[in-house]
Each structure stands twice: as C-alpha cells, then as structure tokens.
Structure 1
Amino acid sequence: MLKPYKNFDVNYFPENELVLWKIKSEGIPNFSIDKLREFKRFSEDLKVMFADENYPLKYIVSGSDCDGIYNLGGDLPYFYGSILNRDRAKLEEYAHLCIDAIYNMYCSFDLPAITIATVEGKAYGGGFECVMAHDVIIADAQAQFCLPENKFNLFPGMGAYSFLCRKLNINAAMEILYSGSVYGAEELGKKGLIDRVIASENTLSSVVQYIEESRSNFNFQSAHYKSIKRVFPLQKSELLDITNIWVDSCMQMEQADLRRMELIINAQQRRMGIKGYTLQ
C-alpha cells in the first residue's frame, strides 16, 4: 500500500476503484516547497503501485482537509523572501516542481484513470490552477475561485493560461486571467469550467454518487478525456516556458509590488491565526 505522507492524506477504496488524496493544512493552506517535493514522491509511488493489476484504479480524486479552503495557491512568504534575497534558483526550483505536479495531474499520473477535483471553499491562485489540471471538477455551491496575482503585479504562471485558453472561449479566459475577480461555482459552471455543482456537506459522497452514475460509461469517458487532450494537446514544455516567464516576472517586481504581496501575506496569516511570517 501507499506509504504515509507528511503533507497529504492518501486513501485507496478498492470497492470504488478510487484513490483519494487530500492536502493537509499546517499553517497557511498553500503549496509549500516541502509539499511540492513530497508530491513528486507521491506521484512516483502512485504510478508504481497502480501499475500492478492487483490494485484496480479508475478514479484519482483530490480534496483538502482544511475547512473552507481547497488551497490558496503559491507560498507567498517563500516568494517574498526569495525575491528580496534575489534568489532566482529557489524560485526556479519551486516553479518547476509546480509544473511537475500540474503535469502529473493533467496526465492522470500516466495511469488509465480519470482525475476528479473536489472543491470546498476557496481555490485561489495555484489552488485554482491545480483544480483546472483535473479531468472533472466537482465543486460545492459555496466554493470560490480566483486568480489574484495581478493584485501584486504578477501573473498566474503554473498552468492558468494553458488550461483556461483550452477549456473556455478566449474572451471568457481573458476575463478570468485579467480581472482578479472572485468567481462562484455556479458562475464557472455556466461558463463550462466546472462539471458539477453540488449542495452537499459531504462532498465525498457526491463524488461516489458521480462515480456510480458514470461507472457503466467509464470506457467512453476515459476515451473522451484522452481525445480532448489529443485535440488540444498540452506539452510540458509549454508549461515550463510560461513558468520561466513567471520567474523572470518575480525578479522584476518593484518595492510597491512587494508591499502589496506583504499585505496579502499578513491577511492570510491573520485569518489562520499566525503571527508574523518567516522569510525562507
């Protein structure tokens, strides 16, 4: 079986042919460098275990164990400290690990499975990008989505452009990328980005219901998502090129931009009951 992880809860439900991985939240529920490094190991373990036909798998489902938050995205204190210290190498490592994670999700971890994101609460920045890497998005009616990077003169560099410009018409994609607005699940459902909006306190039961409804149709659905990816192919090199532009942009940030980033860091930490941030 899969080993225990520090930053993720992972459970296998053979009766549903389903793996559920949840992001643990210690401090701000974001993607820290430690989470990203461990996610790379988790991805490799997943591929090895489920290459074994004794562990049938059709669905890989993501979620969060933090009430009200799926994920707030990038580790802003880490960015802030790296930019202040002019440490480009740290930003590049972080960005490339993000792309490793995003592309593994997009490719269903090289397994014959459908990926499903279950979103409860806020999915902001990189959290939103993570969601969009999945085949299917199921969101609680109260879930919120946002790409807030332009509030501190940066842009979402870990997949947002690639996914939104493939999933939506160009005007709808540009609106979400440029506005920095918060979108509800219903609104994104109408745009065609979210597959199912649920009004349930037990999202996992809704996922199981979705799977039960679609089980007899799995062969079609699996081929359907593979075909979409063939018609609108996404190469890892595209994601890496864009995230390298993101690193360049980080290094061009001015003091006023960093001050706005600092205000968001402080707001996040107040919400989580954390006093002061630590530069890394």
Structure 2
Amino acid sequence: MHNQSFITEFVLLGLSQNPTVQKIAFFVCVFVGLHLTIGGNMLIVVTIVCSPALLGSPMYFFLAFLSFLDACFSSAMAPKMIVDLLYKRKIISYKGCMIQLFAEQFFAGAEMIILTAMAYDHYVAICRPLHYFSIMNWRLCGILVWVAWTGGFLHSIIQILFTFQLPFCGSNIIDHFLWDLYSLLELACTDTHIFGLFVVSNSGLICFIIFIMLLVSYGVILLSLRTFNSEGRRKALSTCGSHIVVVVLFFVPCIFTYARPPSAFSFDNMVKIFYNMLTPLLNPLTYTFRNMEIKNAIRKVWKCLVVLSDKK
C-alpha cells in the first residue's frame, strides 16, 4: 500500500482549553519536566561518571546509562509539549510527528532492554557472587549496551516504517496533548485493524513477556535470599526493591497503553503524563532515596562544583 497522505500537520487539542489551566500546566511541566526529570537524571549521570569507585561497578554503570536514557526520553517529548501550552493552536508537522514518535519508541525500547540487563546483573551479584566480576566483565557490559541501542533502533524503525504506510486524508485533529501510535491510527483513512494488532504484538506483547520474565527472575532471587544472613538479606532486598519499583513504573503503563486494542479511555491522558514525565522523574529518586553511595557521591560532586564556581 502506498502512502497517499494529504495531511502535512496535526493539531493537538491539549490537556485543557482553559487558559488558566494551561498556564498552571506550563509552570508545572517546566519545573517537573525540565528541572527535576532531565536535571535529576543528568545529575546521576555526572555523579557516576565523575566517581571512579561507582563507574567501576557494572550496577552503577547501567544506572548511569538508564538515567541518560530517561533524560533523552524526556528531552524528546517534554519541550514540544511545554511550548504548546503557550499557544492556543497546538500544531506539529507530519515529519515532526514521525521524528518524535521515532525518538519515543527508540529510547523506550532501549530502556526496556537495559532494565532487563540490570535485572541480570542483580541476579549474578546475589546468586553467583563469587563469579560476579568474571561474568559481568566490561566486554559483556559493552555488548549489553550495544544490544540496547540496536534493539531500541530496530523496534522504533519497524514501527515508523509501518506508520509511513498509513494514509492520512481526513481529520488532522488529535484529542490528546501527545501523539502516539494509537492516536495516529484513529486518523488513518484505511482499515487499521491489522496494524493495531501489529502494535499490540510489537510493543504491548513484548512489554508483557519481558515484565513477566523479570518478575520470575526476581522471584528466583528472593527465594535464594533464604540462605543469606539478616544484613546480606537487607542489602539485597534494598537493591532489588529499587529496581522492582522502577520496572513496575516503566512496564505497567507501557502494558496498559499498548497491550490492548486501540480504544480510548477517559484516563488515557493521565497514563501518558505518568509514562512520559513522572516515570523518568521517579527513576532517579527511587535509586537514590536509600542509596548512601549515590548520596555521598552527589555531595562530593556538588562540593566540587561549588568550589569551581567560587574560583570563577
């Protein structure tokens, strides 16, 4: 099927048509999306990169990469949404829509893989501690990061290539503040039943399968903790608990969004806000809240920045 699209731009209705609500949403999004989410994640990246003791650990290496992906994910989505809140008419070009859709799927796909790699890292650290550094060597860490980039790219490019085949010749109004695959399916001038099933299988089903695999792997880890002493069990539970929270925050909204038929629910926008803005924000908070190593490293980096700024 050839693309016979006559639409060159899409119009978003946004969160609300109320000017007061839009102004409040603007300041909230600027504070949360730009300062807290992107700033918080990049603070973790800089802290780990500037701390040799942390960067030498595969666990913190993957955490820095996860924070970098979260910052990129938010950077791809938040700025356009924030700018739109200043305008009554919210427009995005067809090409711009495809670019942002590619970025969203790319970084989300890479994050899904890196969360799986982090779960494997925790499994090896807890269940095979004597062989940890021989298994989780830097060659394997590099391969896992390469797999994350490649997997994210393949996942995204497949979605985009199929989306390019959809003809858009009718309405160009999207009743959301963000666009996603299902929003575009509603506007296509053709039967999208098959494509909807493809989205479910390529995104939702993969999310669901990986999520179940991660839950099973952590079930195995928890069972192995029975042989640990109380201190070892507490430390392992703290590490695994943070990762389980991040996994749930990432996969549950993803499964809700994509592992179902393309139908609209009244709270879809709330799920999208959570998935696109709050999840990347909560990830760094979850990992640093009870992690003294990260907290101490952040203090040291902050002191160095203050000293450097005073010298200037």
TM-score computed with the length of structure 2 as normaliser: 0.25
More strand per residue? 1
Q: Which has the higher contact order (CA 8 A, sep 6+)?
A: 2
Q: Which has the larger radius of gyration?
A: 2
More helix per residue? 2
